[in-house]
Amino acid sequence: MKISQVFTMLFFLLFVISLTAQEDTLISENPKIEESISEESEEKDYKPYNALAPAKAAFYSAILPGLGQAYNGRYWKIPLVYAGIGTGVYFYIANDKQWNRYRDAYKNRLAGRDDEFTINGDQKIADAALIRAQELYRKNKEISILVTAGFYILNIIDANVDAHLQQFNVSEDLSLQPNLDFNNFTGKSQYGLSLNYRF
């Protein structure tokens, strides 16, 4: 056997042992106590289906960003929502100030007045550069608006999807187990993982 096959075999054996070691951690002698423990754990893990929960979460996030995440109980996402929206707003304001600065300077030049880029009659920035600067900052303002709108929409989608997934019941019947199979035709072992679902 090759060394890689030995290591693979050892890995799967350790993986199977660790999976089987975790199965019966809450076995008790009294069956009534065991039934009550399993019923309590099922009640805690599974929320009853509420068809309106995703719509409510999306509506709350549309009204006030982050409110849908609070409705879902995902409070850690609220700062991320406001950081994303706040970043877009910050860059919009910064680019708008620069756009106004270069636009006012260009208007003053067209009117024959001195601007902040003209010192003692000497123009530090040409007219074409003022036009290019205005175009650059206008484009950056538009991108900032798109980023802000994108985070706002992502906030609504996240609240809706999270509310859907909270009602998704993940059953214990779904399991992933390693599988070792002997191929009768080639005489070699085959390794793999099998996904088992019991109804």
Q: Distance of CA 94 to CAs 9, 91, 120, 137, 140, Å? A: 60, 5, 29, 9, 10
Q: What is the mean pLDDT of the chain?
A: 78
Reported as a pLDDT band with limits 50, 70 and 90, residue 143 is: very high
Whether residue 139 has pLDDT greater than 90 = yes
Q: Which amino acid is at 32?
A: K
The length of the chain is: 199
Residues 71-99 pLDDT 10s: 999 999 999 999 999 999 999 999 999 99
pLDDT of 167? 76
Question: Taking residues 111-128, what's their average pLDDT?
Answer: 82
Amino acid at 39: E
pLDDT over 70 (residue 144): yes
